[in-house]
């Protein structure tokens, strides 16, 4: 199962981004291979429709669940129709590291 976590910096110590489409980085975590890689968001400075472009990119990478601090209304609709799960992190101190460890504990 592949998770995409929005991230402010490309390190595991950074926090979740609160802008899904305009997040600086995405941490792609694969639970089967236990691999984590950071990709820079190529659509960060797009004037509009950054979110849908990101969704297209992530779904082409077979991401099944996205984790962010917030999602826009339009993105929720798109993700739902693609059957991609959403997790909203409400704790602002939760770093990428902590999120991944709780995902690992589950599997």
Partner 1 sequence: MARPKNLRRIDTHPLVKGYKPIDFIGNKQHSLVIINLEEYESIRLCDYESKSQEEAALLMGVSRPTFTRIYAYARKKVAEAFTEGKGIVFEGGRVFLDSDWYTCGDCKSSFNNYLHITNPTCTLCGSTNINSYEE
- Residue from 8, 39, 57, 88 that binds partner 1 (CB under 8 A)? 88
Q: Which of 18, 10, 2, 20 shows the shortest CA–CA distance to 103?
A: 2
Pick the stretch among 25-33, 34-42, 49-57, 96-104 that binds partner 1 (CB under 8 A).
Answer: 96-104
* Phi, then psi, of 62 in degrees rounded to 5: 60, 35
Which of 78, 95, 96, 97 touches partner 1 (CB under 8 A)? 78
Closest approach of partner 1 to the CB of residue 6, in Å: 13
* Bridge partners, residue 67, by sequence: 5, 87
Q: Does 80 bind partner 1 (CB under 8 A)?
A: yes
102 binds partner 1 (CB under 8 A): yes
> Which run of H or E residues covers position 75?
helix 73-81
Q: Which residues are at the interface with partner 1 (CB under 8 A)?
A: 65, 67, 76-81, 83-91, 94, 99, 102-103, 105-107
């Amino acid at each position: 199962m592949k998770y995409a976590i929005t991230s402010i910096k490309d390190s595991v110590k950074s926090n979740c981004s609160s802008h899904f489409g305009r997040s600086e980085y995405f941490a792609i975590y694969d639970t089967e291979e236990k691999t984590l890689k950071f990709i820079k968001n190529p659509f960060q400075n797009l004037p509009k429709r950054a979110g849908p472009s990101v969704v297209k990119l992530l779904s082409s990478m077979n991401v099944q669940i996205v984790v962010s601090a917030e999602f826009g209304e339009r993105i929720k609709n798109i993700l739902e129709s693609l059957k991609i799960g959403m997790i909203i992190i409400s704790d602002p101190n939760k770093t990428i590291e902590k999120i991944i460890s709780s995902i690992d504990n589950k599997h």
